[in-house]
Amino acid sequence: MKPGFVPALGTPFDQQGKFIKESYQKQIDDQIRAGAVAILCMGSMGIQPYIATSEYPKVAQAAVEAAAGRVPVFVGAMDTSICRAKDRMAAMEDLDIAGFVFTTPFYYSMTYDQVINYYKAVAAATKHKILMYDLAVVTQTKITYPMVLQLLREVPNLAGIKSADLQMFRKLKLNPDVPDDFIMVYSGLDTFDIAYKWGITNQLDGMLSCTPANTGKLFKAMEAGDFTAAAKYLDNITSLRDVFVANDLWPSFTASMNMLGYEGDFGPDYVSPIKPQSYEAVRAELVRIGEL
């Protein structure tokens, strides 16, 4: 994968929980025009665990169609067990994707051996590459450096990992036994510019899906070595995130996506509509940082 950013796409649905294909494909086109080097379909910001089984393969198919070979498409297939993850993969196995992405199972925490068993089983069930997704704040289980090394030895189609753990990435970068093409996608939004200086040049976050203008400028600045400008654009993105958090994340995210021209609801189906004062706060911040 080329150096650059990978947006964790938002997934739009109507009030009946039906996927809005046209809105999704417009988002993907805008991200590719902004410079995305790959896309993550149905990650955590893409409300992957909340999507109805009937809509799941439709989202992945729409992403493949919209990307049209311009960038790799990665698809989240995480779930709470091996059998459920296999069901998700089976519905999308024939799609032209770059790989499936898996967190550890969520709901219960896991032991070391259980993590190894899980990734070996899901990897063996697909012809596609797989990527690990380190999201301990949600899953209650941290993917560790020794786990990655063991799975690299035992899982031929393990292609990479997404994590915010810079120290683990440093160890992987310095380990001569880790293949040069092993993908390391950094998800620590607040330190994208620092990670880039360390040579971690593939970066991903859900906030990139609603900040294409700033994200494109951020990565162009980092590529040019202008880290003063890069810091300004990264500060814009994190400032918008902080506005979301202060005004209820999911309705704020939906409001921002709607303002940017993407129809639909982008949060879990139990989320209340955004309050008027919060809507104005989100709009004002989008204007201030140059997204509107």
pLDDT of 95: 96
User: Rounded to an integer, what distance in angstroms lies between the CA atom of residue 71 and that of residue 288?
Assistant: 30
Q: How confident is the model at residue 10 (pLDDT cuts 50, 70, 90)?
A: very high
In which element (H, E) is residue 26 found? helix 21-34
Once rounded to an integer, what is the mean pLDDT over residues 21-38? 97
Once rounded to an integer, what is the mean pLDDT over residues 197-226? 95
Chain-centroid distance, C-alpha 5: 10
pLDDT of 261: 97
Residue 256 CB neighbours (<10 A): 27
Q: Which CATH architecture has domain 4-212?
A: Alpha-Beta Barrel (3.20)
155, HSE (Cβ side, Cα atoms, 13 Å): 29
Once rounded to an integer, what is the mean pLDDT over residues 193-218? 95
Q: What are the residue ranges spanned by the domains of the chain?
A: 4-212
Give the closest residue to 21 by CA, choosing from 30, 32, 13, 33. 13
226, HSE (Cβ side, Cα atoms, 13 Å): 10
- SS3 sequence, 219-246? HHHHHCCCHHHHHHHHHHHHHHHHHHHH
pLDDT per residue as tens digits for the range 161-194? 999 999 999 999 999 999 999 999 999 999 999 9
How much is the mean pLDDT over the chain? Answer: 96
pLDDT of 1: 81
pLDDT per residue as tens digits for the range 33-90? 999 999 999 999 999 999 999 999 999 999 999 999 999 999 999 999 999 999 999 9
Q: How confident is the model at residue 119 (pLDDT cuts 50, 70, 90)?
A: very high
- The answer on pLDDT for 198 being more than 90 is no
Q: Which residue has the tokens 């654009």?
A: 233
74, HSE (Cβ side, Cα atoms, 13 Å): 30
User: Rounded to an integer, what distance in angstroms lies between the CA atom of residue 118 and that of residue 102?
Assistant: 10
The pTM assigned to this predicted structure is 0.95
Percent of the chain beyond pLDDT 90?
97
